Chains A and B, each alone.
Chain A
Amino acid sequence: MRFIIELHEALLIAWDAVRANKLRAGLTTLGIVVGIVTVTLMGTAIQGIQRGFRQSISVLGTDVLYVQRFDWFINSHAEWLRQQRRREITWSQFKALERQLNSARAVAPMVDIREAVKYKNRSATGVTIIGTTDQFLVTGGVGISEGRFITPEESEGGRPVCVVGAQTATNLFRGEPILGSRVYVGGHPFEVVGVLEKQGEFLGAFSLDNQVVIPIGQLTAHFVPFPDYTIQVKVGDESRLEDVREEVRGLMRKIRHVQPGDDDDFAINQQDQFIKTFNRVTGVIATVGLFITGLSLFVGGIGIMNIMFVSVAERTREIGIRKAIGAKRRNILIQFLLESMCICLFGGCIGLALAAPLTLALRRLMPATMSFGLVGLSLGVSLVVGVIAGFMPAWRAARLNPVEALRNE
C-alpha cells in the first residue's frame, strides 16, 4: 500500500517534470524515436518477408516429398559434382515406387519443360508445360476452377488433352469460351478440358499460373522421350512425414539398386528445407538489424542520460526539500527513474506512431502488418532504455546530501 502511494506520487512528479519541459523532452526522445521506428520496421519487414515466403512455398505442400535426382540445396562444389554423376529417375522407377509404396496418399510423376502455347493467332512463350498424371491434382495441391482435371485413362497416353493455368487462360483466351477449344503446345494440338485455380507466384520469381498441364504420356511422346522424373509423394498427414520418407528412401534404394553402405543416389526434398535455409537468411538479417537498432537506441539512451543529469542538477533544491521532509533514497530514485522512463515511453509512442504509416507503405512490397507482439516489444525496449539511461542520474540524485542540496540555489 505504502509502496503504491509512493509510486503514484513519483509518477505524478515524473509526469509533471516531463510536462514542464515538453520541448526538451521531445527533442531528447529523437534518438529513441529513431530506434523504435527501426525496431518496428525491421521486425515488421522480417515478419512480412517470412509470411510472404511461407505463403509462397505453401504450394510445395507441408506434407509432400519430392523424390528427385538432385538436392534443392547443394552446399559445396564437390557435392554438386558428385550429384551430377547420379542416374536419372526413370518412368519404370516411378512405376515401381508407385506400386510398392502403400503408406502415401498419392504419388505422381512430374516433368516440366518450357514451350510456346498458341491459340488461334495468339501465342504465349515460356509457358511451363507440366507432364503428369491424374494424381497431380492431389500431390500438387492445385484446384480446378473450370472443367475437370486429366483422368487416369488420359494420363499415360491417348488423348491430347490439357488443363491450363489461370494466367495462361486469361492471356490466351481473353474471355472467349475456353473448355473444348484447341491450343497448340509446341506445335501439337491439345484440347482444353479444364482451368486451374489461381495460385500466385513462387518466391516472387515466376508465376505458377502461367502453365499448362498435359498427360505425361503426351509429354514423352512429343517432347522428351526419356525425361528425368520428379516423383511427388503426398503423405496426407504431416505427423507421418518422417515414416513415409524413410519408406520412400528404402524403396528407392532397392529400386535403383543402391548397395548397402553406399550413399543415396537420389534426393528426397521437402518444403522444410526451404524454410530452414530461409530462416538462416532472415536470422542474419535480423542480427544485423538488431545491431543497427541497438546502436541508435544506445545513442538515444545517452541523450536521455544527459538530459536526466540536467534535470537532477536543476532540481537539486527540490530534492533537498523532499529529503528534508522525509523522502528516502528510493523515493528520489524512483521519481527520476520514472521521469526517464516516461520520456522514453513517450519517444517509443512517437516512434510507433511514425512506424505505423511506414508499415502501410511497406505493404506494397510484402504482406506487412505491425503485430501486437512487436508493439509490446517496442514499448518494452523503450522502458528498458529509460531505466538504464535514467539509473545513473537517479542514483546520483538519491544520494545527494540534503544539507548541500538545500543550499543549492
Chain B
Amino acid sequence: MSLIRLDRVSRYYRMGAETIRALEEVSLTIDRGEYVAIMGPSGSGKSTLMNLLGCLDTPTSGVYELNGLNVSEMDDNQLAEVRNREIGFVFQTFNLLPRATALRNVELPLIYAGLAAEERRQRALEALERVGLGGRVNHKPMELSGGQGQRVAIARALVNRPSILLADEPTGNLDSKTGMEIMAIFNDLAATGHTIILVTHEEDIAHCARRIIRLRDGRIASDDPVRK
C-alpha cells in the first residue's frame, strides 16, 4: 500500500469574487522510502500541494490518504496530531523559535507528543547528533550559521520519527556550498530509508531526488524518475 495517495484532489481559494484554482484534480501516489522532488514555476500550485501533503491544509475536493488515514476529512486538532506523528517539516526560512536553544527547538514536537522530559532530551540529542550538531545543542538560533540553523530544523523534523520528511526549498536561503551540505544530509537520510519530499525550483537540487514531479497551472505536467 502506498504511503501517500491523492485521488483527484483540488484546492480552490476564493479571492473576492474570483475563485483561484490552485490545484486541479491532482492524483498521485508516493510509496514508502521514495525520494521525490516537486518542481514548478511560482503559481504552479507547488506550495498548495505541499501544504496539503503536510496536512496544514485540507483539499476542497478529492481524497488524500496518508498512511491509510483519510486526512481530507479531519478537523484541526486531528490534523495537528497527524502532523506531529507523521510529518517532519523543513522550511526555507528554518522557522526555529528564536528564544529557544537548539535542543529545545528539537524537543518541541516531542512536547506536543506528550513525552516525558528525560526521553525528550535523549531523542533530541540523538537527532542533533545525527545532523552533526552534537556540540552546539545549547546555542540559540541567532548564534548559529544558516547551515547550522537548517540542520537544527532537520533534527526537529526527524525527532518524532515521522513517515515523511517534507522540505520546502530547504536550500533557498543558503549559499550553494552550504546548500549542498544540507542536500547531503537529505541524500543520506533517503539512503537509510526515509521518505523525503522536496519542493524546489532549482534543477540541481531536484536532481538529488530519484523522482521529479513537475507542476504547471495546478496540474501535474510530468512525473518521471531521475536517470543518474
Does A associate with B in a complex?
yes
Interface positions of A (Cβ within 8 A of B): 1-2, 5-6, 9, 16, 20, 317-318, 320-331, 399, 402-403, 406
Q: Are B114 and A325 in contact (CB under 8 A)?
A: no
Comparing B28-36, B50-58, B62-70, the segment that makes contact with chain A is: B50-58
Q: Are A325 and B97 in contact (CB under 8 A)?
A: no
Of A5, A16, A324, A403, the most chain B CB neighbours within 10 A belong to A324
Instruction: Determine whether B227 belongs to the interface, using a CB cutoff of 8 Å to chain A.
Output: no
A317-B116 CB under 8 A given contacts A326-B84, A403-B57:
no
A-B contact pairs, 17 of them (CB 8 A): A5-B114, A9-B111, A320-B95, A321-B96, A324-B56, A324-B89, A324-B95, A325-B108, A326-B85, A326-B112, A327-B112, A329-B77, A330-B77, A331-B112, A399-B76, A403-B56, A406-B95
Instruction: Determine whether B74 belongs to the interface, using a CB cutoff of 8 Å to chain A.
Output: no
Instruction: Determine whether B151 belongs to the interface, using a CB cutoff of 8 Å to chain A.
Output: no
Q: Are A402 and B56 in contact (CB under 8 A)?
A: yes
Residue of B nearest to A17 (CB): B99
Known: A326-B109, A406-B95. 19 other contacts (CB 8 A): A2-B114, A5-B117, A6-B111, A6-B112, A320-B95, A323-B56, A324-B54, A324-B83, A324-B89, A325-B109, A326-B84, A326-B85, A327-B80, A328-B80, A329-B76, A329-B77, A403-B56, A403-B57, A406-B56
Chain A neighbourhood of B46, CB < 8 A: none
Per the bound structure, the CA–CA distance linking A402 and B112 in Å amounts to 16
A326-B115 CB under 8 A given contacts A16-B99, A20-B99, A403-B51:
no
Tally of A-B Cβ pairs under 8 angstroms: 66
Of A2, A320, A326, the most chain B CB neighbours within 10 A belong to A326
B80 partner, pick from A2, A9, A16, A323, beta carbons under 8 A? A323
Of A322, A329, A330, the most chain B CB neighbours within 10 A belong to A322
Q: Are A321 and B80 in contact (CB under 8 A)?
A: no
The 10 residue pairs across chains A and B that have the minimum distance between CB atoms:
A326-B84, A2-B114, A326-B112, A328-B80, A325-B109, A328-B77, A9-B111, A321-B95, A402-B56, A403-B56
Instruction: Determine whether B81 belongs to the interface, using a CB cutoff of 8 Å to chain A.
Output: yes
Shortest CB-to-CB span from A136 to chain B, Å, is: 74
Q: Are B56 and A322 in contact (CB under 8 A)?
A: no
Of B51, B56, B116, B117, the most chain A CB neighbours within 10 A belong to B56
Residue of A nearest to B115 (CB): A5
Per the bound structure, the CA–CA distance linking A211 and B118 in Å amounts to 77
B residues 98-142 with Cβ under 8 Å of A?
Answer: 99, 108-109, 111-117
Chain B neighbourhood of A326, CB < 8 A: 80-81, 83-85, 109, 112-113, 160
Instruction: Determine whether B156 belongs to the interface, using a CB cutoff of 8 Å to chain A.
Output: yes
Chain A neighbourhood of B54, CB < 8 A: 324
Per the bound structure, the CA–CA distance linking A327 and B76 in Å amounts to 10
Total interface residues in chain B, CB < 8 Å: 28
Shortest CB-to-CB span from B209 to chain A, Å, is: 22
Q: Are A318 and B81 in contact (CB under 8 A)?
A: no
Chain B neighbourhood of A1, CB < 8 A: 114, 116
Chain A neighbourhood of B77, CB < 8 A: 328-330
Per the bound structure, the CA–CA distance linking A317 and B51 in Å amounts to 16
Chain B neighbourhood of A5, CB < 8 A: 111, 114-117
Per the bound structure, the CA–CA distance linking A326 and B78 in Å amounts to 10
B residues 155-181 with Cβ under 8 Å of A?
Answer: 156, 160
Chain B neighbourhood of A9, CB < 8 A: 111
Per the bound structure, the CA–CA distance linking A327 and B77 in Å amounts to 8
Per the bound structure, the CA–CA distance linking A403 and B116 in Å amounts to 29
Q: Are A322 and B108 in contact (CB under 8 A)?
A: yes
Residue of B nearest to A407 (CB): B47
Residue of B nearest to A20 (CB): B99
